[in-house]
Structure 1
Amino acid sequence: MNRFVLLGMGALALAACSKPVPTDTAAPTAPPVADAKAPAATAPATPALEARSFDCAKAHNDAEKLVCGDARLAALDRQLAALYKSAQSSPDELDIAAEQRGWVKGRDACWQAVDAHRCLLEAYQTRIVELNIGSGAVKAPAPVAYRCDDDSKPVTAVFYNELDPQAAVIRWGNDQAIVFPAEAASGARYTREGVEFWEHQGEATLNFYGTALSCKAVG
């Protein structure tokens, strides 16, 4: 199985030969007194407290507590836990386990980020995409090449429109970043902290960790 290489947690960084998909207080009343003969009602489970890769009752850092208290992050945690369990049966089990330990350390460092929620969201989404691509179960679509005003390094984009979450992998020379769909007035826009790729009718702008490029699709 081909391993999927990432820029690193600080940068946290392939997609369809098809074009990217555009993204166009009243006081509470007192509870009724329970009938002593009636069976006690069972409270419904709270989705936000069902993170399964760790015990929320024993969450020991701010990142884990935030995951346990946020329904979207908890859902991503469950999705990642299932993918990781499946990946453990692969021939690259030891490599994947080492990557996962490194990822956990990076996730737990999100409390230092200016936007801890965004950091965690992108961390989970990125790792899910990595495991899906690395599993070999996802057919790698053909990359789309772009010619940019600074042509010192090639730029390509691979659009994984069928993945959950949807994603694109942007390559600039030997560097790459996994980015995710974002709202746009027109065209298709993908972002992550430090990276923005915006494509419309074959023309694209790319901001890659401070480097701004204007590009056109080749072919």
Structure 2
Amino acid sequence: MNRFVLLGVGALALAACSKPAPSDTDTPAPAPGTATTTPVPTPAPPATAAEPTLQPPSFDCAKAQSESEKLVCGDARLAALDRQLAALYKRVQTSPDELDIAAEQRGWVKGRDACWQAVDRHRCLVESYQTRIVELNIGSGGVSAPTPVRYQCDDASKPVSVVFYNELDPQAAVVSWGKDQAIVFPAQAASGSRYTREGVEFWEHQGEATLDFYGTTMSCKAAG
């Protein structure tokens, strides 16, 4: 099975839980001249449908112990994500790397339960579930990796690339800055394509992009 490893993201994601989310009003810095553009998939806008009817998650809420589990039990979206993850985890457990996956899952549970410390607990939990679902989908080899879009940035100390997984549920992109990676998710934008998670924001419009990677902000241009 192809393994998908997010180097450094576990610690970064937990640290970022206490940081304020990027402002929705920030816009990418314009670049002079005419830039050669590289097509970037446009994510579907976030769902605006009414909140789904509350159904129980995959575990027994009467036995919920952590604060995160209790929040999942009382939130329809989180409960739905929990059921989706449980079904996916059950499928991938039959792989040759079953022991590794089980160990990763135990680590993920600890990270999820740490969301009670976050400023925005709900966002932390949503992103925790979404991230694990994307990791398992990619790591199981069930999806083919699209061609990375590479960017030239004003901070040239590390290469920057983005892989857009717009066929997944949830849609996602994997932003790589050197050896560090982060899974980000579509967010509303006045123009272009914007992907975020707590501590990371990638915003692209007509080949020009800005990237805020856990406090490091850079302006980028799609490589020709």
Shorter chain as denominator, the TM-score bin is: 0.7 to 0.9
Match in the other structure for 2:142:
137
1:5 positional shift: 1.1
Q: Calculate percent identity across the aligned residue pairs.
A: 76
Aligned to 1:11, what secondary structure does the other structure show? helix
| 1:59 Cα offset (Å) | 0.6
2:54 aligned to which of 48, 56, 67: 48
- CA–CA separation in structure 1 for the residues paired with 2:104 and 2:76: 25
Shift of 1:55: 1.0
Partner of 1:90: 95
Whole-angstrom CA distance in 2 between matches of 1:77 and 1:193: 20
CA–CA distance in 1 between the matches of 2:76 and 2:42? 26
Higher relative contact order (CA closer than 8 Å, sequence separation 6+):
2
Return the match for 2:40 from 10, 14, 19. 19
- Return closer, same or farther for 1:84/1:18 CA change in 2, 3 Å cut-off: farther
User: Which structure 2 residues correspond to residues 167-206 of structure 1 after superposition, within 5 A?
Assistant: 167-206=172-211
CA contact (8 A) 2:146 2:165 kept: yes
Distance 1:66 1:95 in 2: 28
User: Matches of 2:183 and 2:107 in 1, distance apart?
Assistant: 17
Q: Which deviations, in whole Å up to 9, do the C-alpha atoms of 1:48-105 show, x marking residues without a partner?
A: 34101x2111111110010010000000000000010001000000000000000000
| Partner of residue 75, structure 2 | 70
For residues 17-46 of structure 1, the C-alpha deviation after alignment (integer angstroms, 9 at most, x for no partner) is 96221556xxxxxxxxxxxxxxxxxxxxx9
RMSD: 1.7
Quote the Cα distance in structure 2 between the aligned partners of 1:209 and 1:158. 19
Q: CA deviation at 1:3?
A: 1.4
Question: What are the superposed Cα offsets for residues 90-132 of structure 1, whole Å, 9 maximum, x if unpaired?
Answer: 0000000000000000101100111110100000000000000
How far apart, in 2, do the equivalents of 1:58 and 1:23 lie? 37
Q: Distance in 2 between matches of 1:18 and 1:82?
A: 34
Unmatched tracts of structure 1, length 5 or more: 25-45
1:145 and 1:218 in contact (8 A); partners too? yes
